[in-house]
Structure 1
Amino acid sequence: MAVTLTEAAARHVSRYLSRRGKGVGVRLGVKTTGCSGMAYKLEYVDEVDASDLVFENHGIKVLVDPKSLAYLDGTELDFVREGLNEGFKFSNPNERDRCGCGESFRI
């Protein structure tokens, strides 16, 4: 089981943590919401919780709670620029459907 970061995502997280002056990485999880049922939640974290599963790519830690891992296994987190927009992009092989607005997904 694994969750990975691309080099672009790792660079973005590293720059952000450097500007913040603290942090150990990002926590990736899922929550029940939206028109398709689930949404990704992503936050910068300062400490590793005892229950966190830790995946490290390109020197950046990705923390995942055990309940979310079943939905996130195999996910690759990328940071992309498309025109004037930029943001994280989730490539999750477990997704079966995504809502039209792109905010939620179904497993």
Structure 2
Amino acid sequence: MAVTLTEAAARHVARYLGRRGKGVGVRLGVKTTGCSGLAYKLEYADEAAPEDVVFEEHGVKVLVDPKSLPYLDGTQLDFVREGLNEGFKFHNPREKDRCGCGESFRV
């Protein structure tokens, strides 16, 4: 099982953690919500929990809780700029469907 970051995502996270002055990486998970059932959770992590599964890509750690890992296995986290907008994009091969508003997904 694996979760990866593109170079662009790793650079963004590393820059943000540097400005923030603390943190060990980014925590990725899923929560039950929306019309399709699941939504991604992404937050900066100050420390790893004992149960976290830790992946490291381009010098940046991605922490995933064991309950979320089956839904996220194979996911690549990217950071993209599209016009004036920028943000993280999830490329998850397990996604079967996404709701019309883009807030939730189904596996």
TM-score range, shorter chain: over 0.9
Local SS of the residue matching 2:19: helix
Q: For residue 40 of structure 1, what is the amino acid of its counterpart? A: Y
Whole-angstrom CA distance in 2 between matches of 1:26 and 1:33: 21
Q: 2:12 matched to 1:12?
A: yes
> Partner of 2:87 in structure 1?
87
Q: TM-score, normalised by structure 2?
A: 0.99
Letter in 2 for 1:69: L
Q: Supply the distance in 2 between the matched residues of 1:103 and 1:83 (Cα, whole angstroms).
A: 20
DSSP 3-state at the match of 2:89: strand
Q: What are structure 2's unaligned runs of at least 5 residues?
A: none
TM-score by length of 1: 0.99
In structure 2, the residue matched to 1:73 is 73
Q: CA deviation at 1:100?
A: 1.0
Aligned length: 107
Q: What CA distance in whole angstroms lies between the structure 1 residues aligned with 2:2 and 2:13? A: 18
Q: CA separation in 1, counterparts of 2:45 and 2:70?
A: 21
**How much has 1:56 moved relative to structure 2?**
0.1
Equivalent position amino acid for 2:21 in 1: G
Residue number in structure 2 paired with 1:53: 53
Quote the sequence identity (%): 84
Cα deviation 1:47-66 (Å, max 9, x = unaligned): 01000000000000000000
RMSD: 0.4
| Structure 2 partner of 1:104 | 104
Where structure 1 has 5 or more consecutive residues not aligned to the other structure, the ranges are: none
